[in-house]
Each structure stands twice: as structure tokens, then as C-alpha cells.
């Protein structure tokens, strides 16, 4: 199986690139970034734009953790490794192209291969990108095993000081599973599509737990005027000592 994709100068972009480059802190300062796709949004284009960020940052060796998206759908950096959680017939689990295939319901094998592929000569792969969670969440029937897998995965990413941009399609999963992903995240980016007089527009709602801020962006990468980013909890009301209090959010935000 050749992993060299056709050259595709796709001028259509979502907003992953503009959003990831406009986070309050540099991208690699974050550990877990969860992108939640809602409605008619092209997940492949979001991954393409996330990969373009690796070129801007001169990262030639990301780990691609793929699910529904196939390696042939993306223009892969030359030194990238690929972990593909899928069901495939007549394939060897690994080949010389840097591809490892593991069935998405084999959580122990996935965890072991995540750990193996995260290593390189210099230590650890700095950036992990993909939609592997869509396939894993879709076939997982044991909540305890799934939670254990996610705990192990995200703990390793944090302790190894890596950055993960992982995408999940909300309509595919029980909302409780999406809530688990959000609970682990440093940043949640919710992508949704809308139709107005101008035409089809992609909007993104960003909630940054580390910076205590939220923001709204459209597909141009600019803030939506009526929805400027703000603190979702007023920092002047933050309590550092004593019994925790329940603050009213400046705007209702789902934080699980």
C-alpha cells in the first residue's frame, strides 16, 4: 500500500490553521486540544489545515493518529508516523512506510503502539494529530476500559510534554463520551457550519481552560464581532482559599 497521496492544492480551508495559530499561548505550550465537529463540517479539511501548521512550525515528524480519515486523504509530512485505528483485511499490521494498523476495539494494543510510535531519536514526537477517537469511541462498549485507555493516553501526553490535536465528531457518539474528552482538554474547539447571506461559513467556538478565556471565530480566522472572546469566569471573582463557590458564567459554557 503506497502512502504517497496525490498532489492536491486545495484552496478550501476550514479554520483549524487560523485558530491554532491564534491561541492565547503558543500551540506547543498546550498538551490536549480537543476539536469537536458539529453538523456539516469537513473533518478532513480541519486535519489538513492542522497539518499545515506543522509546516509553519517546521515540524517534520508528527504522529498521525487516524480513524475514519485514511492516510491517502492527507498530504503527509515526509518523516511522519501513522497509527491507523481501523478494520482492514489483507494488510500487514506494519510496513516500511511508517504505517501501523490496529483494530480500534483493541485498546491495549492501541495504547502500546501509541507509546512506541511517540518515541523518536530525540525523545518524543512533539505533536499528535488525528481523528482516531471517532473510531475508538464508536466501537467501545466497556466504559471502564475506554476511560482507562483515555486516562493512560492523556497522562502520557502530559507527562511527556507532547501536544495532541485530536478530533471527534459529536453526532457519532453518546454525549457522555464527548463530555469525557472535554474533561481532559486544555482547549476545546467546537466547529460548526452556518448558512447566511454571504454563503456557507464555518464557525469555531474556543474554550481555553488554561487561559480562562473563550472566543468565537469564523472561517476567515477573525473574531465574530458580537461574540468577542472574554473570560468565562471573571478572574476578579476567582477564589483561591476556602470552600469552592459556584460562580455564574459570563455566558453558559459546557464544561464537564
| pLDDT tens digit sequence for 110-158 | 999 999 999 988 889 999 999 999 999 999 888 999 999 999 999 999 9
Q: What is the mean pLDDT of residues 221-232?
A: 50
> Which segment, 137-141, 162-166, 203-207, is predicted with the most confidence on average?
162-166
Q: Which three cell numbers stand for residue 135?
A: 473510531
CA distance 120 to 126: 10
Strands 81-85 and 32-37, by their bridges, are unpaired
Residue 233 has pLDDT above 80, yes or no: no
Residue closest to 165 by CA, chosen among 130, 141, 116: 130
| Mean residue pLDDT across the chain | 77
* Three-class DSSP category at 64: strand
The pLDDT of residue 201:
67
* Structure confidence at residue 195 as a pLDDT band (50, 70, 90): low
Cell representation of residue 162: 507532547
Per-residue pLDDT band at 38 (split at 50, 70, 90): confident
- CA 91 from centroid of its chain's CA atoms: 27
pLDDT band at residue 171 under the 50/70/90 scheme: confident
Pairing of strands 163-169, 127-130: parallel
Cα–Cα distance, 79 to 196 (Å, whole number): 41
φ, ψ (nearest 5 deg) of residue 249: -75, 150
**What's the pLDDT score for residue 250?**
42
pTM, to two decimals: 0.78
Instruction: With a cut of 90, say whether residue 84 has pLDDT above it.
Output: yes
At residue 159 the predicted structure's pLDDT band, cuts being 50, 70 and 90, is very high
Contacts of 129 (CB under 8 A, 6+ apart): 47, 50, 51, 54, 62, 63, 64, 65, 164, 165, 166
| Residue 100 pLDDT > 80 | yes
Q: Is the pLDDT of residue 242 over 50?
A: no
Domains of the chain with CATH codes? 23-194 (3.40.50.300)
Is the pLDDT at 216 greater than 70? The verdict is yes
Could you give the count of Cα atoms lying within 13 Å of 66 in the half-sphere of its Cβ?
Answer: 25
Place of cell 457550519: 193
d(C-alpha 39, C-alpha 90), whole Å: 34
Given pLDDT bands bounded at 50, 70 and 90, which one contains residue 251?
very low
Q: How far apart are CA 149 and CA 109, in angstroms?
A: 10
Query: Distance between CA atoms of 94 and 120, rounded to whole angstroms?
Result: 17
State whether residue 38 is helix, strand or coil.
coil
Cα 91 from Cα 76, distance rounded (Å): 20
Angle between helix 143-159 and helix 132-139 axes, rounded to 10 deg: 150
Amino acid at each position: 500500500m503506497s502512502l504517497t497521496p496525490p498532489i492536491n492544492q486545495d484552496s478550501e480551508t476550514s479554520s483549524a490553521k487560523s485558530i491554532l495559530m491564534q491561541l492565547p499561548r503558543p500551540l506547543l505550550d498546550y498538551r490536549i486540544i480537543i476539536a469537536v465537529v458539529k453538523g456539516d463540517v469537513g473533518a478532513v479539511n480541519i486535519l489538513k489545515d492542522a497539518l499545515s501548521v506543522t509546516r509553519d512550525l517546521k515540524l517534520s515528524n508528527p504522529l498521525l493518529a487516524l480513524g475514519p480519515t485514511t492516510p491517502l486523504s492527507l498530504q503527509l509530512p515526509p518523516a511522519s508516523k501513522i497509527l491507523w485505528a481501523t478494520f482492514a483485511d489483507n494488510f500487514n499490521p506494519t510496513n516500511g512506510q511508517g504505517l501501523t494498523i490496529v483494530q480500534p476495539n483493541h485498546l491495549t494494543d492501541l495504547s502500546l503502539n501509541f507509546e512506541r510510535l511517540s518515541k523518536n531519536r530525540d525523545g518524543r514526537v512533539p505533536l499528535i494529530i488525528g481523528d482516531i477517537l471517532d473510531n475508538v469511541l464508536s466501537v467501545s462498549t466497556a466504559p471502564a476500559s475506554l476511560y482507562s485507555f483515555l486516562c493512560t493516553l492523556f497522562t502520557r501526553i502530559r507527562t511527556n510534554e507532547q501536544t495532541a490535536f485530536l478530533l471527534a465528531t459529536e453526532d457519532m457518539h453518546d454525549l457522555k463520551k464527548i463530555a469525557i474528552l472535554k474533561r481532559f482538554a486544555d482547549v476545546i474547539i467546537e466547529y460548526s457550519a452556518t448558512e447566511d447571506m454571504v454563503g456557507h461559513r464555518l464557525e469555531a467556538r474556543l474554550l481555553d481552560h488554561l487561559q480562562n478565556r473563550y472566543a468565537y471565530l469564523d472561517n476567515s480566522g477573525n473574531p465574530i464581532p458580537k461574540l468577542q472572546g472574554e473570560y468565562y469566569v471573571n478572574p476578579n471573582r476567582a477564589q483561591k482559599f476556602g470552600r469552592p463557590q459556584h460562580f455564574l458564567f459570563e455566558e453558559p459554557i459546557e464544561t464537564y
